Amino acid sequence: MANTDNIKTFVAAEAIDEFEVVSIDAAGKVSLPSGADDDGIVGVAQRTVASGDVVEVLIHGVTRVKAGAAITFVTTPLLMAATDGEVVAATGTGAYPIARVLPNINQLSTAGAGEQFSAFFFGPSVALA
């Protein structure tokens, strides 16, 4: 039997596209993150929704995500959030790695923003020093 505990539903505080990272706000709704230093990131939206809609969010596990820039998977496997809900290579101080790239023989990098790929989402835990 499949584990369904890794997807939870939330109300969207704003328009969110599928496979964008989301953060929880003070009202308990999800919205796009404030950046790589956002420790309230809870998961990855699984479909596109408008403000006020209910959205399924993967809170732990394998999902597709959207790249915010070119990423070379082998040299930069850890990911952090960008302000638009996309992910970029985890670098710098104060940033929270939130996911790890899952490369495969057909995809070892992204060419740029908006490209989808597989990742293992684990959420923010310890900021990069």
pLDDT digits (tens, 9 = 90+) for 110-123: 777 778 889 999 99
> Would 69 be classed as within a structural domain?
yes
Q: What's 33's domain CATH number?
A: 2.40.300.10
The one-letter code for the residue type at 111 is A
53 shares its domain with 101: no
pLDDT of residue 103: 78
Across 28-42, 67-81, 98-112, least confident range: 98-112
Range of the domain at 96: 63-121
> How many domains, the chain?
2
Split at pLDDT 50, 70, 90, the class of 77 is confident
11 shares its domain with 38: yes
73 shares its domain with 93: yes
74 shares its domain with 95: yes
Q: Are 38 and 26 in contact (CB under 8 A)?
A: no
CA distance 49 to 108: 29
Token digits of residue 83:
């302000």
Residue-wise pLDDT tens digits, 78-120: 899 998 999 998 888 888 999 999 877 667 667 777 788 899 9
Cα angle: 66, vertex 99, 91; to 5 degrees: 90
Phi, psi of 102 (to 5 degrees): -115, 85
42 shares its domain with 16: yes
- Give the global pTM: 0.90
